Amino acid sequence: MSQQKTAAIPMVDLTAQYPLIRADIEAGLQAALSEARFILGPNVQALEAEIAAYLGVEHCVSVASGTDALHLALRAAGVGEGDEVITTPFSFISTAEAICYVGARPVFVDIDPRTFNVDPAAVEAAITPATRAIMPVHLFGQPANIPALRDIAGRHDLILIEDCAQSFGAAVDGRMTGSLGHAGAFSFFPSKNLGGYGDGGLISTDDDRLAAEAKTLRNHGSRQRYYHDVVGYNSRLDELQAVILRAKLPHIDDFNEHRRSVARRYTEALQGVAGLTTPHEDGVGRHVYHQYTLLCEDEAHRDRLMAELAADNIASAVYYPVPLHQQAAFSDLHDGSAVPALPVAEDTAKRCLSLPIYPELALTDVDRIAAVLRR
The DSSP call for residue 131 is: E
pLDDT score, position 2 = 42
pLDDT score, position 4 = 58
**Secondary structure percentages of the chain, helix, strand, coil, to 5:** 40, 15, 40
Instruction: Return d(Cα 375, Cα 305) in angstroms, integer.
Output: 10
Which SS3 state, helix, strand or coil, does residue 345 take?
A: helix
State the DSSP H helix or E strand holding residue 150, giving kind and residue range, or none if neither: helix 146-156
The DSSP call for residue 9 is: B
For residue 150, how many other CB atoms are within 10 A of its CB?
16
Q: What is the CA radius of gyration of the chain?
A: 21
pLDDT score, position 312 = 98
pLDDT score, position 1 = 37
pLDDT score, position 338 = 72
Contact 181, 161 (CB under 8 A): yes
The letter for the amino acid at 233 is: Y
Q: Which residues of 344-355 are buried (b: 16+ CB within 10 A; e: fewer)?
A: bbbbbbebbbbb
Half-sphere exposure of 173 (CA within 13 A, CB side): 6
The DSSP bridge partners found for residue 171 are 176, 286
Residues of the chain with pLDDT under 50: 1-2
Domains of the chain plus CATH, in order, are 18-249 (3.40.640.10), 251-374 (3.90.1150.10)
What number of helices (H) and strands (E) belong to the chain?
12, 14
The letter for the amino acid at 155 is: R
Q: What is the pTM of this model?
A: 0.97
Q: Is the peptide bond before 319 cis (omega within 30 degrees of 0)?
A: no
- Give the DSSP per-residue string, 247-312: HHGGGHHHHHHHHHHHHHHHHHHHTT-TT-BPPPP-SSEE---SSEEEE-SSHHHHHHHHHHHHHT
Positions of E strands within the chain = 59-63, 84-87, 105-108, 131-135, 159-163, 171-172, 175-176, 183-187, 201-205, 222-224, 227-228, 285-286, 292-295, 352-355
pLDDT score, position 272 = 93
pLDDT score, position 334 = 79
